[in-house]
Every structure is written in structure tokens, then in C-alpha cells.
Structure 1
Amino acid sequence: MDLSKINEIAATSYTSKPKKSLYELPLNQYQTVLSIRIVQGRFGQVPLVELQNFVVFLPGRATEVIIENLESFTPGRYAIAYTGSVPSSFGDNQV
């Protein structure tokens, strides 16, 4: 069994669009949300948001709220915007 082949298929099964970090989004510009899925990430379930030209993984702390509201999601009706990072109590910046 070729695990690298399985991992490659799993990584591209969400979408063929490139992945971007939240930090790579343009500052204060709204991006229309085309779809949201809950996927298994490195540290548990995380939301995967499909935008026009790429996909973005949201922080795990957003998972519970998104799961609760996923049934009422309407594609194209919502948008996200990166507004910058804030210092955390750990001394680093968080989204």
C-alpha cells in the first residue's frame, strides 16, 4: 500500500483550488464564501472554507459554531475578511 498516494488523494479531495493561510488573505477585503466543510485536520476537525480562487482552513475554535449553523449556510450569501492578528497571552499573534 502506497501511503504517499493515499495522502495525495486525501489532500486534493477537498477541492482542486490552492490552499492559503488566513495570514495570506488581503487585509480588510471581503471574500465571498462559496462553501464550508468540516474536515479532519492535523489537530482535529476544522472548517475548510472555499472562496473564489482558493480555500482557507479556519482555526479549530470556529468549528463548533460552524457545525451548529452549517445547515442554514447559503453559498454566496456570506463573506469573510481578514482583519489582522492580535497578540495572545503566549506572546505570539493569533488570527
Structure 2
Amino acid sequence: MNTSTHTESTTGTTTVLARLTDILREVMPGLPDQISPSAKLADDLDIDSLAVVEILVAVETAFEIPIDDSDISRVSTVSDIIDLIDAGR
């Protein structure tokens, strides 16, 4: 994925990343303050599949978007979640 499009997005991706970072830290309180879009959920942030589901439910609520259950298995990075947010708008 090309993460440069996230910083150039006209939908306010900096704000999206900030809100998403807050959601990630709410579900996983030990995460760092700065989270890169390229961060791998499992490998870099130690987020398991159950927590990913919790995060995506929180994202649906916070951004008022639907996320299809089939998308859950395709989410492996923070950027993947941003892509889902962008697609849901």
C-alpha cells in the first residue's frame, strides 16, 4: 500500500490517523503515542485478532461507517484500517 496517499488525502487523513490512534490506544492502552500508518497490527503493535474486531467496531461507531465482516481478515496494518475508513465515507 502507498501510505503517501494518506498524508495527501483531501478527507483529512491526519485527523483520521489521530482519531484512529486514539481508538487503538483505547482498546490497547499500552500503545505508543505515535503510530505509523505502515505499522503492522500483529507484528509491530502486538494486537491480536479479537482486539482487531474490537477496534473495527469502535471505528464503525466513531466514523459512522459500515465495515463488512469479510474485510476483517484483510486488515493487517493501520493503513488498511484507514483504507476502510476512506472507503466507507
**TM-score computed with the length of structure 1 as normaliser:** 0.26
Based on CA coordinates, which of the two structures has the bigger radius of gyration? 1
The structure with the greater share of residues assigned to strand is: 1
